[in-house]
Amino acid sequence: MLDKQSLDADLKEMKKSRLFTCEIKRHRELSPPLCAVCPRIAKCRAFRIWYRLHKKEYLDFVSEICNKFPDKYQMEVIFMAEKQSFVQIVDMTSGKIERIVNLAEIEAMTAEEKLALSRDKNLFVVTHRLEPIVKVELRKSVITQEMRFGAEPPKAEEPIEEIGPEPIPAKPKGRKARA
């Protein structure tokens, strides 16, 4: 008979992979090249979930592009707000935020764990969490010379070769053509 531990392990292995699709371009999977230039990146629900799982891959892609082409692209940091109930843990001696924990995690803790977590710390309930997202943007350049669109520069003329008369095709033998 199967025991509970082996059954749980089998269920974890059989867990279906989630397919994240772009909200703008339907039926397209999310990927760093699509999301790094998207204007709706801070508002996209699918990106929020995908970003939690693929944060390292996304940051590696953005930094690689900006390092490879520093004259063309620059990084822009925007803040993505996530609305949930969080608990912000602040150290009382230094006043620094130690970490932000989901409220569901704290409710799942035992009384001893909660007491140990709150010792010498202030706990605040927070409704939003801002997460910085790095985005790729084309570098803006200043135009220093006057641009003219109507006049084209003169082209060097190529010599024109004369073409002789084409040979007349021979009439097909055999059947007569109907008129």
Residue 32 lies in a domain: yes
Token couple for 83? 């609305």
Contacts of 33 (CB under 8 A, 6+ apart): 61
How many domains is the chain partitioned into structurally? 1
Residue 144: inside a domain: no
Single-letter residue type at 156: A
Domain membership of residue 51 (yes or no) is yes
Residue 53 has pLDDT above 50, yes or no: yes
Q: What is the pLDDT of residues 6-20, one digit of tens each?
A: 555 554 555 555 667
In whole angstroms, give the CA distance from residue 147 to residue 150: 10
Instruction: Establish if 172 belongs to a structural domain.
Output: no
DSSP helix/strand/coil, 12 = helix
State the sign of the Cα–Cα–Cα–Cα dihedral 159, 164, 165, 167: negative
Query: Can you tell me the mean pLDDT for 66-77?
Result: 88
Whether residue 123 is contained in a domain is answered as yes
Would residue 178 count as lying in a domain?
Answer: no
Q: Is residue 34 over pLDDT 70?
A: yes
**In this predicted structure, what is the pLDDT of residue 26?**
67
The domain in which residue 93 lies consists of 20-138
Helical H segments across 14-152, by residue range:
32-35, 45-53, 55-68, 103-108, 111-118
- 78/75 Cα distance (integer angstroms): 10
For the whole model, what pTM was predicted? 0.52
Distance of CA 129 to the CA centre of its chain: 20
Question: How far, in Å, CA of 115 to CA of 73, rounded?
Answer: 49
Does an H or E element contain 81, and which? Answer: strand 73-91
pLDDT number for residue 10: 52
Is 156 domain-assigned? no
Residue carrying structure tokens 């620059």:
74
pLDDT, residue 1, reads 43
Any domain includes 169:
no
Residues 24-44 have a mean pLDDT of 81
Residues 6+ apart with CB under 8 A from 105: none
